[in-house]
A and B are shown apart, each in its own frame.
Chain A
Amino acid sequence: MKTDKNLFKGLSRREWIKILGGIPVLGAVWTAGYRFTEKAKTERNLLLETLNIKASPPPASGPMSGEPLRIGLIGFGIRGEQLMRSLGFATTEWLEQMAKSSAENPNDKRLDDFKAQENLNVKLAGICDIFDVRAEKALASFNQNGNVCKRYRTHSDMIHSGEIDAIIIATPDHWHAPMAIEAIEAGLHVYIEKPMTHTIQETYDLRESCRRNPDVVMAVGHQHRQTQSFLTAQDAIAKMTLGHVSLVTTTTNRNDDNGAWQYDIHPDASPDTIDWNAFLGTAPQIPFNAEHFFRWRKWWAYGSGLSGDLLTHDYDRINCVLKMGIPKYITASGGVYTHRDGRNVPDVMQINMDFPNFSTGSSQEPGKEKGMTLVYSATLGNQFDRGTLLMGHDATMELGNMLTIHADPRSTKYAEFIKEKRIDPMVPIYQYDPSANGVDAVTSATAKYFANKGLLWTYRDGKRVDSTFLHIREWLSCVRNGGNPSCGITEGFEEAITAHMGGLAYKLGRRVEWDEESERIVALPGEDLDAILLDNEVGYLMQKA
């Protein structure tokens, strides 16, 4: 007590100011900080309430319980191996390579992710590959840990063996439909890689086959349907966040040999190790050609180039958000401009898809807005990332790993907000990052920078998962628990017809029309559209020109 008395004894007012003068500064700074964050929160909540977009991941698919499903794979190439890993089966070589890679780089989590992947309760019971080396590689890796995997010489042998419940088709395009139809008619469930078909006629045939066998579950391999942000994007469209979307732009930008389908040719490839006739199927009968076998995507005879290989991904991504269906008109241009190596599918291609009767809704006077163009713009000679944009009168949506919406400065819907400076057209009004805990109406440049660098990954239930795994799981869940896959025959039909119209427009050099009523691509008298689509001469002639 005595000390205390001494402590405060004889302090003048001036002394007190010198002692406690910092307190008001403290109060001022604290209050300013508190008020600033509260105001920002109020503004943000007001904006979020106005937009009312529900940020939600797609529903999880059902349980994987019951007897293990017996899966058969046709085509153990690059995609086949990826699909098998999603199914839970990695080759010994891959496991060794990943172990080595993660030992060298602790940030390489591919092996950990694979090991942490949920068990899908399946047996990889059969494999069919007409290249001996690949088939043997599969047998060597997949006949262990209680799994028994048998090689079948032909896909028909496998389909009719009675030992397979469901098949996965990862072959060149010209084999997709014939194999799928044979399997469906035999009552097997089918997961088929994109594009769903190689010809127009096959697209109708496969749909008929599915209609005849409604118990069979058929899924098309557009795994991006599992992307977390797509339901959120759908909701944003439904809530009229963008207004009338008049233009959608999607792109492919690649600049490497692998991206241009210049895959490695295996040194052991020969007529002795490859069943060449089985590869050709209905394709033009030419002598053994290892390049055609390994780089089949470069020729119309087996593949479909940018329009079938890569446009299909972008088209389906937009179709799953907008559900606009098959375009009324398609025009296309392009050529073999970056890889003049004998291929005949274009490596630069622009496809314009028109939907004159489609609308996402309008914030302006009735009747002013209707119709939309979807542009697919691709080059295999430059990899500058141009992103995907949905451009509406009121706002623009950037659709990527994250979903970002910017108000348009001339928007009708947000005019008042912009005038009151509560919306800055340069700052996103909405941003959905599936890896973050919440949504953010106004994101700083810094946060955007981090996200764009890919630092904020996509998680589900706290685990990083690959979308192909989710897509295959969804297919298996439909087989086990019922329901329809997100990309089934209806979506596959729309995807395949659109891809074929794109290919036709490129080859014919004119606008190709879809007759919605008769469900036919309009042909001029005497035109055999499938013959034109498969024609191998177009690319060659352009290269010679």
Chain B
Amino acid sequence: MNQNPNFTSVQTFALVAMRLLIGWHFLYEGVIKLYSPSWTAKGYLLSATYMQSFFQWLASESMISVVDTLNIAALILVGIGLIVGFKTKWVSVVGIGLLLLYYFAHPPFPGYAQGPSEGSYWLVNKNLIEAAALLVVFLFPTEYAFGIGRLFMKKKMEPAHQLN
């Protein structure tokens, strides 16, 4: 994939901003959970309205502490990666995975119980939109414009510079 697309600076800025905002959201969710010892995904998983047996397995006594720890770790890693611009492609994939799990546990399908929600949704909800946004982050990497990835681009791009 082209790692150095010819974006205008405004386009690059918009992509970086989106990456930072999503990273911000992930990191804050992860940190809040990290410092709330009684937090658990058990209730969310047990009340899943779709693929119940899978989510209830995740919520079982033997699984739940691993699931909670992995969830917090993944949220924080995705958040850090997106914010500091390091391995953004990898963390985008992990982030999409997490969001799709959240999406399918309580999907806004017609006829499915929606539970507590701040808005109205049909098929599409904010989890799905955030996953789609992460797909954009994955396909249009910006860590070479803003982020630690830029350090490694310098190294790789060194010969290219000479052609300029």
Contact = CB atoms under 8 A, between A and B. Distances in A.
A30 B27 contact: yes
A403 to B, nearest CB: 17
A18 B31 CA distance: 25
Interface in A401-453: 436-438, 440, 445-447, 449-451, 453
B46 A29 contact: no
Interface stretch (B93-101, B129-137, B145-153): B145-153
A463 to B, nearest CB: 11
B31 A22 contact: no
Interface in B112-134: 115-116
Given A29-B31, A449-B116, A455-B43, A22 B85 contact: yes
A7 B154 CA distance: 7
Nearest to A26: B83
A106 B52 CA distance: 12
B24 interface: yes
A450 B43 contact: yes
A21 B23 CA distance: 14
A12 to B, nearest CB: 12
B158 A19 contact: no
A30 B148 CA distance: 18
A126 B147 CA distance: 81
Contacts of A34: 31, 35
Interface residues of B, number: 33
B35 A38 contact: yes
Contacts of B85: 22
Contacts of A15: 150
Interface string A24-51: 0110011011101110100000000000
A380 to B, nearest CB: 29
Contacts of A33: 27-28, 30-32, 34-35
A453 B44 CA distance: 12
A6 interface: yes
| Chain A contact surface mostly | helix
A412 B1 CA distance: 68
A524 interface: no
Given A25-B83, A29-B83, A37-B36, A447 B43 contact: yes
Contact of B147 (A6, A22, A446, A450): A22
Nearest to B113: A453
Contact of A19 (B46, B83, B150): B150
Contact of A29 (B28, B116, B158): B28
Given A6-B155, A37-B35, A440-B38, A26 B146 contact: no
Contacts of B27: 26, 29-30, 33
B74 interface: no
Contact of B146 (A22, A437, A450, A453): A22
Contacts of B80: 26
A20 B148 contact: yes
Interface in B13-53: 20, 23-24, 27-28, 30-32, 34-36, 38, 43-44, 46-47, 53
A29 B24 CA distance: 7
A258 interface: no
B116 A30 contact: no
B79 interface: yes
B24 A25 contact: yes
Nearest to B146: A18
B67 interface: no
B84 interface: yes
Nearest to A7: B155
Contact of B20 (A22, A438, A440, A449): A22
A38 B34 CA distance: 11
A19 B47 contact: no
A68 B78 CA distance: 61
Given A7-B155, A33-B28, A455-B47, A25 B35 contact: no
Contacts of A451: 43
A23 interface: yes
A33 B30 CA distance: 9
Q: Which of A25, A34, A438 has the most CB of B within 10 A?
A: A25
A29 B43 contact: no
A23 B148 CA distance: 9
A7 B20 CA distance: 25
Nearest to A444: B116
Interface string A450-481: 11010110000000000000000000000000
A23 B84 contact: yes
Nearest to B85: A22
Contacts of B43: 446-447, 450-451, 455-456
A144 interface: no
A18 B145 contact: yes
B50 to A, nearest CB: 15
A53 to B, nearest CB: 17
A21 B47 contact: no
Interface in B55-81: 79-80
Interface string A129-153: 0000000000000000000000000
Interface of B: 20, 23-24, 27-28, 30-32, 34-36, 38, 43-44, 46-47, 53, 79-80, 83-85, 115-116, 145-148, 150-151, 154-155, 158
Given A18-B147, A22-B148, A26-B27, 5 more contacts: A22-B23, A37-B31, A37-B32, A37-B36, A453-B47
Give me the 8 closest cross-chain CB pairs, A-B, nearest first. A33-B31, A450-B43, A37-B35, A22-B84, A22-B83, A19-B150, A26-B83, A455-B46
20 contacts: A6-B158, A7-B155, A18-B146, A18-B150, A19-B148, A21-B146, A21-B147, A22-B85, A22-B146, A25-B24, A26-B80, A29-B28, A29-B79, A33-B30, A33-B31, A37-B32, A106-B53, A449-B116, A455-B43, A455-B47
Interface of A: 3, 6-7, 11, 15, 18-23, 25-26, 29-30, 32-34, 36-38, 40, 106, 436-438, 440, 445-447, 449-451, 453, 455-456
